[in-house]
Structure formats: C-alpha cells, structure tokens
Chain A
Amino acid sequence: MNVQETVKKYIVEAMLMGRGGDDLAGDTSFLARDILDSTGVLELAFFLEETFAIKVADEDMVPENLDSLNAIAAFVARKQARVAADRGGVAVSSSGR
C-alpha cells in the first residue's frame, strides 16, 4: 500500500466509522468535506508519526500538508527524504508499512 492508500484506509476507519470514503479522491479537501476537526488533525498527526516514522512539528500542522491524501503523501515524502538525508542515506520513495 502506498501512502495515499494507507492514510485513506486509516481515515475511513478512524473518522468515518469504516463506511464510505469511496469518493475520497486524492485531492478531496478534508476541511471542505467536514471530515477532520481539530481532534481529528491531532489523531492524524499521531498516526503519521507512528506509521511513517516521521516527526510532525507544530508548524507542519497546516492544511497545505494535511488537508488531502495528495498533500499528506507529498508531506510524508518530504519528511522521509529529510530523515534519510539527516542519516546520510539515500532518500527513499514514500511507502507505508
């Protein structure tokens, strides 16, 4: 599963009680669809940290990074690339566990 699929599965399960989500496209805004409230954002950030071994800083918690599946995938990829660079390794493409 790639990042989008992993996060989509999580959002459907955690925020939508396991129902719906078929129309959740890569660019669907969670805010516009009333899917994420502030507690949901906190949960999502925690999920991303646990699942992708990244650190979501306070200043990362903006719609630009977290408001759609595409935005999250790009954000996770940037974070993982930075982690890899800090370790002196090679940036890997984003992928879920």
Chain B
Amino acid sequence: MDARAPGFAFSASILDLDAAREADRIAQAVLELVQKRLKRRGVVVGVSGGIDSGVVAALCARALGPQRVVALLMPEKESSAESLELGRRLCDHLGVQAIQEDITPLLEASGCYRRRDEALRAVIPEYGPGWKSKIVLPGVLDTDMYRVYSVVARSPDGREVKARLPPEAYLTVVASTNFKQRARKMLEYFHADRLAYAVAGTPNRLEYDQGFFVKNGDGAADIKPIAHLYKAQVYQLAAHLGLPADIRSRPPTTDTYSLPQSQEEFYFSLPYHQMDLCLWARDHDIAPAEVGRALGLDAVQVGRVFRDIDAKRAAARYLGSPPLLVDPAAADPEKADQT
C-alpha cells in the first residue's frame, strides 16, 4: 500500500488482506520451501494453543497434507492447562498428529526453575515453593521512562511484591526462563530429525521485527511462514482457515512466567491492534499526529511508541543475527548461513 498515494487515509483497514489468496500463497510457498529448498518430507510445529501456532499448523496442513504435519504439545509445570487443551483441540480440528512432551523434567535437570528462583531471592529472600512471578515493563504512553523490567512476585497467601532486580539477578531470571523455549526447540528438532521433517517457526511480524523471541529458542526454525504478517492479519487468516473459535478469541499470552502475563506488560507497548498500526506507520513515514488520530492517542504518545519500536529493533539485531564469519567460507551464501 502506498502511503503517499492521493486520497490515502491511515486507518486499521490498511491491514485488511485477501485472506483466501494469502493462505493459498503461503501454502504454496511452504510446499516449495520444504520440498524443493530444504528437501524435507514434512513439518514439525510446536503448538501453544495460541493463534500464531494455530495458523502456522493450519497453513502447513493445507500445504503438505495433515499427514505430513506433526504438532508438538509441550507443557511444563508452570504453563496453563488451557494452552494444552486448546492445542489438543487444534490438532483434532486439523487432523494432524499431536505428540505431547512434558518438558518439566528437562527444565528441572537444566536448573531452569532453581536458577531463576535463586536469582529472585536476591530481592525477595522468602521466594520459594508456592510463589509465582513474572517480569513487567512500565507503560510507554504517559511517561518517557526507560522500559526497564521489574519483577512481580506473589506469595502463596496472595501477597504481591514488585521490585527492580539488580542487573545480574534480572539477567539470570531471563536466561533461566529461556531454557523453556530452548527445551521446546530441542524437542522439535528431535522429532524433525527422526522424521526428516523441517521445523516451522511461528513468529508474526510484530514478534519477528521487534525481537520478541529467544535466540536459538522459539527464534530458531527452518521456515517462518507468517513472519511477514501483522497480528491482525494472522487473525484474518485464522478466521478464513476456520480455526476453533476459542483459539481465535483467546487473548494473546506469553505463558512463560508462572504468573499470568499479557504481551503488553511483557514486551509490546500497546495492545496488538494498535501495535500493528504503529509498526506499519513507522515503516511508512506516517506522522505521529495522523497515527494518533486513528488510534485515539496524541502525537507525543505515538512518538514514544515509535521510539520504543526503534529501541526494540536495535536490540533485535543481535537476536536475529546468524553466526558471523570473519571471511566467507562457502560459495553459496545460504550454506554459509547454516554453519
């Protein structure tokens, strides 16, 4: 869409797509990539019960046939039971094979929970069994505050503590929690290797662009079929593909920390429907005032969101970087990327 075309008006409708055509286009690309480029025989996809993995699984089933898609359900002791239930429902709906792998033993063996809890005790000495926690960011709209994480912890009797962690403890909490995404990816590749399948990643454009993924965790994959789609467009595809209504209506959640956590407090500065439009506007040089008029925000607030987008993009450069070589080491740059 050309934002400089005569008569252009910035509104939510810029993200409307022809869902039928886009679903066919992606399915065609998935077939091409998996069969011809990667020479694999099917696709493994980790299914979370959320909209993104649901749409990816559905597109892969459409592209390759449901018999060539394996969906992994990978709960752990802190993930929500609803995620597992919705994931199962999706697999039944699509007719794809579901394999359940409880990753709790892997996480216990790697020290995920223990290392995290020890780090949390740096500021909350009584943190232990029965406690739950999450990390949260301050809002972006009404302050110029740097977006620095705090931890929120809840005791077994419901007392809530919010604190800023010392840097080392904060980084240890994040690094420990990243075991979850990496353990899941390890199992996805176990099944992919076993079956000579490719692994499909499930980031949408917001996540891919803004670095909302764990490097070599959910950021790792052989194909990422919806990385070019804004979240609103993922919902449009989900409706077109006929995904179960309770998956389409579920609020986005990270399901990574033991306390419920919205994606806005964890990463994005706005709910996805506004975040989508701000990201689009940032990339199409739409003035903050015009964006604000469409979203019910003022220009200063939109400016803050733009700055947050830029800051996240800067941080995402490391996350998205392939291994860097001193000199080229293969004639084919695609091969060089894989080493």
Contact = CB atoms under 8 A, between A and B. Distances in A.
Contacts of A41: 146, 148
A92 interface: no
Query: How many residues of A sit at the interface, in one of the four size bands?
Result: 10 to 19
Contact of A61 (B146, B170, B314): B146
Contacts of A66: 146
A37 interface: yes
B138 A58 contact: yes
Interface of A: 34, 37-39, 41-43, 45-46, 58-59, 61-64, 66
Interface string B143-157: 111111110000000
A35 B198 CA distance: 38
Contacts, number: 44
A42 B150 CA distance: 10
28 contacts: A34-B314, A37-B315, A38-B146, A38-B147, A38-B148, A38-B315, A39-B167, A39-B170, A41-B148, A42-B148, A42-B164, A42-B165, A42-B167, A43-B167, A45-B148, A45-B164, A58-B138, A58-B145, A58-B164, A59-B143, A59-B145, A61-B145, A61-B148, A62-B143, A62-B146, A63-B144, A63-B146, A66-B146
A12 B206 CA distance: 33
Interface string B107-149: 0000000000000000000000000000000100001111111
A37 B164 CA distance: 16
B171 interface: yes
B167 A38 contact: no
B152 to A, nearest CB: 13
A42 B170 contact: yes
Nearest to A66: B146
Given A42-B170, A66-B146, 18 more contacts: A37-B311, A37-B314, A38-B315, A39-B171, A41-B148, A42-B148, A42-B164, A42-B165, A43-B167, A45-B148, A46-B167, A58-B138, A58-B148, A58-B164, A59-B143, A59-B145, A61-B148, A63-B146
Interface string B232-265: 0000000000000000000000000000000000
Contacts of A46: 166-167
Query: Which 9 pairs of residues, A with B, have the shortest CB-CB distance?
Result: A43-B167, A41-B146, A62-B144, A61-B146, A42-B148, A42-B167, A38-B148, A61-B145, A38-B147
Interface string B168-179: 001100000000
Contacts of B164: 42, 45, 58
A58 B150 contact: yes
Instruction: Give the secondary structure class of A's interface.
Output: helix
B179 to A, nearest CB: 19
A61 B148 CA distance: 8
A46 B314 CA distance: 23
Interface string B76-98: 00000000000000000000000
A34 B315 CA distance: 10
A38 B166 contact: no
A62 B143 CA distance: 8
A88 to B, nearest CB: 28
B265 to A, nearest CB: 14
Nearest to B137: A38
Nearest to A67: B146
Contacts of B167: 39, 42-43, 46
A85 B28 CA distance: 71
A54 to B, nearest CB: 14
A46 B171 CA distance: 13
Contacts of A37: 311, 314-315
A38 B314 contact: no
Contacts of B146: 38, 41, 61-63, 66
A67 B314 CA distance: 17
Contacts of A42: 148-149, 164-165, 167, 170
Contacts of A61: 145-146, 148
